[in-house]
Structure formats: structure tokens, C-alpha cells
Amino acid sequence: MKVKPERLEDLIAIVALYRPGPMKYIPAYISGKEGIPYETPGGDRCKPILDETYGIMVYQEQVMAVAQEVAGYSLGSADLLRRAMGKKIASEMEKQKHTFIYGDATSVPPIPGAIARGMTEEAAIQLFKDIEPFADYGFNKSHAAAYAWISYITAWLKFHYPAEFLSAQISYYDKAEKRAVVKDELDRLGVRMLPPDVNKSFAQFQPEFDGESFKGVAVRFGLAAVKGVTDENGAIRDLVAERDKNGEFKDLPDFMERIGHRSKSDQISGLVACGGFDSLWPVRSQAEEILMWLMKDRGLKERKKAASGDMFQAAGVDASVAIPARLQTISEWGNRADREFAAVGFYFGRHPLDRYLKRMIKGGVRRRGSFIQWMKSNGMGRLNGRRLAVMVDDVKRAKSRNGTDYISATLSEKSDTYRANCFAGATVLASVMKTLDGAKTSRVPVVIEASITWDGESSSQVINAAWTASDFLEGVRGDLTIIVDTSQIPPDAAILMNAGEGDNLTQIGLKNIISRIEKALSPHSHESGSLIHIDAFGAEEGQGGRYPCRVGMRCQTLRRERYAQCRA
């Protein structure tokens, strides 16, 4: 962080400045903090007021203080100036400008004005000009101080107790996409997110000792965050109470016998899908069928039979539930990870996009959040032709009010879910629909090219094209390294390369190779493509090293025959 805060006042200033309007003053604040001389509006009389922010008017309280010091405003009159600036009413601001410079004898108490208090008219006009832009970004210092204090406390907690802090934060969120953002932060910090477990989880997310996590503490997923599972009727509280009283559940029949009467089939399915019963039965497809069987008549009879046999267990008689063999041989789900995602809103294991990310980035793919942040920082409202890597959660054809066909899709990144539409012509519409619908069914990532619009509060995405990840990456290659053994340059090469006596054949040879490569590939160059490097080594001392060949290839257009043109 360039500001490098050292005191609470720095945090307060950052909170007030880090907004669309005043953000442009952050470099000046940093310069002043680093000791670079700065000019103070209003001169020495305003220095005591503005020195804490290095000559920049950041807070509403500073403007009020300047008006009191320079123009003789009372505290009440200065507050009226603050309100006028906040409302941005031109006529009121013009009135305040006149009062600030020349005073107002009708005010109670009278306002003498800057000129009457010793400032030249020119200097007074300039100072008010310096104050006027404040109307676009002024912030109340007391509010900024409250936010800064909370920021400091939460940053301290997150640094020293990351699992405990993030457990509380993720429990507060009720939307899966927000929880997914916290999950990404846990991954970044090296704090494991442990999956739901009927023998370990509580209703909310909880810190749990874990030797594989940063600082030795992980976050255990809360059961109430599983889709379809709720604690409104006390079901989770009953589960935890039963577990605390009589110990962990031994197996699936034991779970159903002790707490099954409080469970519904959709809750059971959700818990199975996200791994809630993995500690009792690791094959999830089998676990779901067994639990459903135990809830039905035949399973109930087996459970009652086992319960009635408890008195014989001490004598060594097996009174366990006899689970049908057919339920124990069911194959595991092929879409296990997708069911997990549907139940909790993210993947506990590797995300389907992870294996493609490095190469996708080379192909110009970025997160939607990155594009939005760039638009915010640069005051842009629209970006065209941007590429996004997504999973397709839902897609359908629809008709607009005027009867035009379009596609509506729900897409998800690792920590973001959003809608996107496609309004292209019939041919493109059919192609996009085929790609998205196929990706939804087979649960494979896709890359879309879209126009992104930001209106200050939300974004909209319009799809122009779509490819499956494998099709998109077919032409995306890594950097190309050409290795040249300079010792293999033949004695008669000087004649072939038109070299003169005493010329360095190695340097001329490499220059010739680079020239031929650039000539062959420059028509296909692109700033986000692959780079070509030439590694030279040989017997002559000082001739080795990497020689840059400044060609960035747009690899979708590069074919094997292009390499043939580069052969020396």
C-alpha cells in the first residue's frame, strides 16, 4: 500500500479519499506524507487546519474551519456553507462565494469576509476556487474516523486471528456468492475450509484446530449454509445437542435412529451432496440411497429391529441394521463436484476453471470484477470485446417485448455469479446457445466475449461470442524458446552471411535468425500473445545468454508452417 499508514489519522484520510471524486488527490497526499514540499491553500493562516492532510481539503470540518479562520464565519454560518456545498445549488454557492470574500453584514452574527480580515481580493477569490471542488467529494471526518477505527480493528483481528475472523464474516453473509469471496480469501491465506460434517459442524461456520492450516486453525462449514438446510425449526440445534449428549454418530443407521425424525429428504440430499456424511459413508451416491431407504418403511423396520436388539449386544449378538447389498454397490456420481457446488455455492476441492487459468490469462481472459474495478478507477462506463471464463449455471432462450429472440444466461466465476444476455443475429445466437447449453449439461468451462457496462451501481454483460474452454485454448501457446548452439556455425558461414574480416559471426548469425523469425511472424503479432526467446550457447566465452526476439504472437493464427519459415 503506497500510503503506508502509521497512525489512525492516515487511515481516516484514506477512508475519506478512497472514493471516485477525491481519489485523484491520493498521490498528493502520499507525496506530502513522504516529505515532499506542498503549497497550502490560503497560506500560513490555513496551515494549522490543513497540515494534517498535507495541504489537501479532505473533510467537511476543514472547510468549516477555513471559513471561520479566514472569513470570520460563526460555527453556525460555516455549517450553512457546508450544507450549501453538499446540495450543490448554484445560486446558493454564488451567494456563499460573495459572503466568503466580501462578508455579509445582515448575517447574525455579521460575517466580515476574507478581505476585511486581511486577505487580498485576488487571494480570497483563489481560495474560494480551491474550496469549490470540495463540493464534489467532501466527507464528514467523524464518519471517516468511525469507519477507519472499525477498519483498524477488523484488520488487526484478521491478521492475528484469520480463521476466527473469517468464520464470523462468512457466517454473516446469506448469499453463496459472498461466501465464495471469503472462501477465496481463505485459500489465499492458507486457511482450509473444511467441508460440512454431521459429526463436526455447527449451525454457523466455526474455527477448528487443523495442523494443515495457517496458524493451525481452519474454518468448518456451517450446516445452516447448506442449500435446503435451515435451523428455523431447531433441527440443527437438536442435532448438535444430541451429538454433545451421546457422542458422535457411528454410522448412517445410528444417525437416522437418533436424529432422523427431525430430518427431511431434501435436507438429507443437500447434506449428502456437500459431503456432510462423508465421515460415515464416503461414497455419496450410496449414502443418499441408504439414507432414503432408512427413512422408508423397510428401513424403518430394520431400524426398529436393531433397536429392539440392543439388550442382546452385550452378549455379542449383532443387532446392526442390515443394509441391502444393492445399495452398497451403486457407482459414485459422475457430477459429484457439481452437486457440491449446487449445495453450497462453491467448490471445496479444485475449481473447474483452475486447470485453465494460466493459459486463459495469456489469451486475454480476466475476471469480471477486474474489469469493473478498472472502469471504476478510470471513470469508464463501458468496455467492449472483453473475455470472461465462466461456468454456465443456467441458459434459456427468451423473447424481448418487441418479439426479438435473445439468450439469457446465469454464469459463475470462482467467486462471482451474474447474468448475461446475447442479442446477436440468428446464426451467432444459435452458435452461442449451442455452446452455453452444452457447457451447462456437461459442466465444462466456457469463454465468452462480452461488452460490459457499469452504471455506478451494477454491471450488465452482453455476449458477442462463446467458446468451450478447450476450443478457445486450442491455439493459445506458451512462450517459445529457440536454442542456438553457436559452436555449430560452419567455417564458411562468413561467406553466406556476407560477413567481413574480423566480424563476430555469432552476433551476425543470431541477428540473422531473429530477423527471419520477426519477418515470418510479425504479421501475426499481438501484445497479449506468446513471446519468442532465443537462448544461445557455445564454446566462445561471452557468447551465451538470452536474446529477445520482440514478437508477440496471436497464437490462434499461428500454424506449424510458420515455424518452417524460421529455419536457418
Q: pLDDT digits over 24-50, tens only?
A: 888 889 999 888 988 888 888 899 999
Residue 484: per-residue pLDDT: 67
pLDDT higher than 60, residue 541: no
Residue 496: per-residue pLDDT: 59
pLDDT higher than 60, residue 545: no
Per-residue pLDDT band for 235 (boundaries 50, 70, 90) equals confident
Burial 392-425 (b: 16+ CB within 10 A, else e): bbebeeeeeeeeebebebbbbbbbbbbebebebe
Q: Measure the CA–CA gap between 222 and 211, rounded to whole angstroms.
A: 20
Residue-averaged pLDDT of the chain: 83
Task: Write out pLDDT tens, residues 54-91.
Answer: 988 889 899 999 999 999 999 999 998 888 887 777 88
Q: Considering only CA atoms, which of 14, 13, 51 is closest in space to residue 35?
A: 51
pLDDT higher than 60, residue 552: no
Calculate mean pLDDT across residues 313-318. Answer: 42
Task: Write out pLDDT tens, residues 112-124.
Answer: 999 999 999 999 9
Per-residue pLDDT band for 314 (boundaries 50, 70, 90) equals very low
Burial 522-544 (b: 16+ CB within 10 A, else e): eebbeeebbebebebeeeeeebe
Angle (nearest 5°) at CA 212 between 209 and 217 = 30
Joined grid coordinates for residue 375: 472502469
Residues of the chain above pLDDT 70, percent:
80
Indicate the DSSP class of residue 211.
T
Residues of the chain above pLDDT 90, percent:
45
CA 196 from chain centre, in angstroms, equals 24
Integer Rg of the chain from CA: 34
CA 170 from chain centre, in angstroms, equals 15
Residue 299: per-residue pLDDT: 54
Indicate the DSSP class of residue 302.
H
Q: Sheet of 206-209: strands edge to edge?
A: 193-194, 217-220, 206-209
Task: Write out pLDDT tens, residues 426-483.
Answer: 999 999 999 999 998 888 899 999 999 998 888 999 999 999 998 888 867 666 666 6
| Lowest-confidence region among 202-211, 241-250, 367-376, 521-530 | 521-530
Residue 317: per-residue pLDDT: 40
| Reduced 3-state DSSP string for 251-279 | CHHHHHHHHHHHCCHHHHHHHHHCCCCCC
Domain annotation for the chain: domains and CATH numbers:
8-145 (no CATH), 166-336 (1.10.150), 354-473 (2.40.50.140), 480-565 (no CATH)
By three-state DSSP, how is residue 529 classified?
Answer: strand
Q: Measure the CA–CA gap between 44 and 185, rounded to whole angstroms.
A: 47
pLDDT higher than 90, residue 184: no
| Lowest-confidence region among 52-66, 246-260, 336-350, 455-469 | 336-350
Task: Write out pLDDT tens, residues 123-168.
Answer: 999 999 888 887 677 788 999 999 999 999 999 999 999 999 999 9
